[in-house]
């Protein structure tokens, strides 16, 4: 059976990893929010350009550019969402490991208490 010090060391490492994952998840969330705001502004920019050129062929060119831009933007957002989901999955895994460590720690402490 493992010693209490080993369990506590592993627990600290897991908490450290959890903290890093939380920080990374917050960073991804902020990036998504910023990207979403820029996408909103770009949409209005393209709409304004298309409106100004709606009577000639250039309007279609800008609309095609906007469609391509929208497609690429959705791809970027999908990748950010995949990253966010992966971070949530890792966080759940870490939480499960921390629960296991907590159980093992309580069990060891109970055994030591019964010995005395």
User: How do residues 39-86 score in pLDDT, each as one tens digit?
Assistant: 899 888 888 887 777 777 676 777 788 889 889 999 999 999 999 999
SS3 per residue for 100-115: HHHHHHHHHHHHHHHH
Q: Which residue has the higher pLDDT, 63 or 16?
A: 16
Residue 14 reports pLDDT greater than 90: yes
Average pLDDT over residues 29-37: 93
- Given a contact cutoff of 8 angstroms between Cβ atoms, the answer to whether 84 and 25 are in contact is yes
Residue spans of the domains in the chain: they are 4-115
């Amino acid at each position: 059976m493992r010693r209490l010090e080993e369990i506590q060391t592993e627990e600290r490492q897991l908490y450290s990893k959890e903290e890093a994952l939380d920080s990374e998840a917050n960073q991804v969330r902020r990036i998504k929010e910023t990207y979403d705001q820029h996408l909103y502004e770009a949409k209005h920019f393209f709409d304004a350009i298309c409106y100004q050129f709606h009577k000639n062929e250039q309007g279609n060119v800008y609309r095609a550019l906007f469609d391509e831009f929208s497609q690429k933007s959705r791809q970027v957002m999908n990748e950010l969402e995949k990253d966010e989901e992966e971070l949530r999955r890792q966080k759940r895994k870490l939480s499960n490991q921390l629960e296991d460590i907590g159980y093992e720690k309580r069990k060891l402490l109970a055994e030591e208490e019964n010995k005395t």
